[in-house]
Structure 1
Amino acid sequence: MPAFTLSSLLESRATRVIGLALAYWLTVVLAIELVTPVEKIALFWPPNAIVAAVLMFTPRRDWPMYLAAMAVGYFAGRLPGGQLPVVVYVVFCIANIVEVLMVAEVVKRFAGGAIVHDALPRVLPVMMLALIPATLVSATMAASIVTAKVAGASFWMAWIGWLTGDLSGMLLVLPVLLAWVAPGAPPIIAYSRNHMIERTVIGVLLAAVGLAIPTALGDQQQISLVFPYLVFPILIWTAMRTGIRSTTLITLVVGLYAVFLTFLGQGPYAFKGLSAFGQVVVMKGGLITITVTTIFLSVL
């Protein structure tokens, strides 16, 4: 009889399935809480990125058990306190599953070979292109059930909200998971002193910008106008100089900061004349644009 060890426990399928269910449940709860302060509009949806990454790194024969764990995590996070009919959440769950399946299958089929660190320059563009049809399909499924089961619901508002939320969540989180989990990357301790100094300077500049924006600019319109111009040069520098790992991480930090500002009701992208829903959609559209541009630059 084989000896029971912590290593064998962590490597077991059961542990990975339970871990995925817990991770998905936790991010679902977090996404539900990250809403605008008054209108309670969801800001972005990162849970699907975790499942998509797991599917990309595992054989297809294991996918059903991970998708089952995803469903368990979803219902555990959504049903308690849910205000919509149960059938709506069932279709939402199916839409999420279809989305991650489409992304994982396209990447596995067309990225060419195993997902290792050196392959990321060809994997990440394929992944970002795969997100387009995957989120279009899932958004259409979700908006259709909402329109059918919720009185007064707008198909296009539900469709745009789901599409931009899933796209921004996937684009911010999935590249980070791929870049930091894919085997073959050099360890951090292998970076030279100059590389570490450069990354430190980038981090300090981002922190300074993050503190200056809400502190020095009291007017919401000023924050919305200045934010992209202060952030873009730092992101371009990161993409051109520091590699995929640092680029995806910095992009995630910037995205989470923008989401946090919106959560506090301070923008960015909160232009006058826009409804609360419009401001959130513009914010997510801005994050999508920043993320796609930065990651494409990093893989050139």
Structure 2
Amino acid sequence: MVRTEELRRLSLAALRILGVAGAYYAGAWFGLQKEVIRADATGISPLWPSTGIAVAALLLLGAGVWPGITLGAFANITTLGTMDGVQLVVLAANTLGPVCSLLLLRRVGFRTELDRLRDAVALVFLGGLAGMLVSATTGSLILLTSGELPVGFWTAWLAWWTGDAMGVLLVTPFLLLLSRLRLPLRFHRWAEASALVVTAAVVTRLATVTPFTLLFLVFPVLIWAALRFHLAGSAPFALLVSLRAVWETTSPTGAFAHHTLLERMISIQAFNGSLALTSLLLTATVTEQKNIHMKIEEACETLAEVVDQLAPGEWTKLRLRNRDREWERDREWEWEREKRGL
């Protein structure tokens, strides 16, 4: 019986690792559709979903699934070219980046619910920007020293860091949201949600394809999504806008075609960073305030029950007395308005 249970546990762990590997490879394939730099068997994209998938997997499934990241990265590298010493270092960097993000997030007590402002700040600055320095710096340096880098070091480093960091800031919150969804979905604001989806589609299209600088138009919609629907609204919208922006900046005929590669990477990093930061911080702040309000209401209800137990009926009398006072104040206010002819 013990052996069967252990075999079952190992089989489940293996399936999780293979699942992470498959998801990582799928994210890498998607990211390579808009790669901006190719160095031998290494492709660099301004949005690398695989890092977001890796960090989300480590947060939800535990550090034990890290071999899945390595397997997924290995499959991606062997698809693009041959595995050699340089690619082994790149493989290690792709694994170490998400693991470092996990360790940094655990250090500050990160919670996957993203219902506190400190969690949003930690994911942005520790999980995304700081953790991904490891993979971007290591990978760019080894490609530079091997002579396989077709562009300048800082251009390659910025593109690599941008892609990895944006993968964490945009894909990880979306996956953390999906992990909490339970069927059947219970939702009562379908009309507003439908209006938000239509508005988001129109504004995103308008903001990203026009030759004018109209990217700022997405922020009012993002604020609407965060205030009314919290992470369920802001995370998908931020990911959608980022995908459209990346598509436009990497297109040879897009609105950014007249910029150099370095200028495009700086622009997309600044925009996507602002987008992710606004989405996460605003959503976390609203959710935190809502939770505080609910706790205050629960404390008031508990206090009311205690008062009613100590002095039966007194709490009811007090509420009725307060209601009568409010009614009297409203009547006096109406009389004053009538006297003034308002």
Report TM bin, short chain: 0.7 to 0.9
SS in 2 for 1:189: coil
CA shift in 2, pair 1:213/1:265, >3 Å: farther
CA shift in 2, pair 1:279/1:55, >3 Å: same
**Mapped contact 2:48–2:163 kept (Cα < 8 A):** yes
SS in 2 for 1:12: helix
How far residue 203 of structure 1 moved from its aligned partner, in angstroms, is: 0.6
Structure 1 Cα separation of the partners of residues 71 and 27 of structure 2: 13
**Mapped contact 1:121–1:299 kept (Cα < 8 A):** yes
CA shift in 2, pair 1:49/1:288, >3 Å: same
**Equivalent residue runs for 1:80-95 within 5 Å:** 80-82=79-81, 86-95=84-93
Quote the residue 1:291 is aligned against.
276
SS in 2 for 1:19: helix
Structure 2 Cα separation of the partners of residues 81 and 59 of structure 1: 29
Structure 2 Cα separation of the partners of residues 123 and 178 of structure 1: 13
Structure 1 Cα separation of the partners of residues 179 and 268 of structure 2: 28
How far residue 174 of structure 1 moved from its aligned partner, in angstroms, is: 0.7
Deviations 1:11-69 (A, max 9, x none): 922221111111111211222222359xx962321102112111112344xx2xx2222
Deviations 1:209-241 (A, max 9, x none): 2444577x4xxx32xx02x13211111111222
Quote the residue 1:147 is aligned against.
144
Structure 1 Cα separation of the partners of residues 62 and 17 of structure 2: 14
Quote the residue 2:72 is aligned against.
73
Structure 2 Cα separation of the partners of residues 116 and 265 of structure 1: 38
Give the residue type in structure 2 aligned to 1:299: A
Deviations 1:186-224 (A, max 9, x none): 7673222xx222221111012222444577x4xxx32xx
Match of 2:61 among 35, 46, 58: 58
Structure 2 Cα separation of the partners of residues 73 and 186 of structure 1: 28
Residue 197 of structure 1 pairs with residue 191 of structure 2: yes
User: Please, which runs of 5 or more residues in structure 1 have no aligned partner?
Assistant: none
Residue 165 of structure 1 pairs with residue 170 of structure 2: no
Give % identity. Answer: 24
Deviations 1:126-185 (A, max 9, x none): 121212221222222112101100256522222111111111121110111122214xx6
Give the residue type in structure 1 aligned to 2:99: L
Structure showing greater relative contact order (alpha-carbon pairs closer than 8 Å, 6 or more residues apart): 1
CA shift in 2, pair 1:51/1:120, >3 Å: farther
CA shift in 2, pair 1:284/1:133, >3 Å: closer
Bigger Rg, which one: 2
Deviations 1:240-299 (A, max 9, x none): 22111221111111111222333443545x174x21342244123311211112221111
CA shift in 2, pair 1:59/1:206, >3 Å: closer
Structure 2 Cα separation of the partners of residues 156 and 106 of structure 1: 25
Structure 2 Cα separation of the partners of residues 179 and 91 of structure 1: 33
CA shift in 2, pair 1:233/1:266, >3 Å: farther
Residue 259 of structure 1 pairs with residue 256 of structure 2: no
Q: TM-score, normalised by structure 1?
A: 0.79
Quote the residue 2:289 is aligned against.
none
CA shift in 2, pair 1:186/1:197, >3 Å: farther
Residue 45 of structure 1 pairs with residue 48 of structure 2: yes
Number of matched pairs: 274
Deviations 1:98-152 (A, max 9, x none): 211111122223125xx45374554332121212221222222112101100256
**Mapped contact 1:147–1:153 kept (Cα < 8 A):** no
Give the residue type in structure 1 aligned to 2:124: M
Structure 2 Cα separation of the partners of residues 17 and 120 of structure 1: 30
User: Please, which runs of 5 or more residues in structure 2 have no aligned partner?
Assistant: 38-42, 286-342
**Mapped contact 1:95–1:142 kept (Cα < 8 A):** yes
Structure 2 Cα separation of the partners of residues 95 and 56 of structure 1: 19
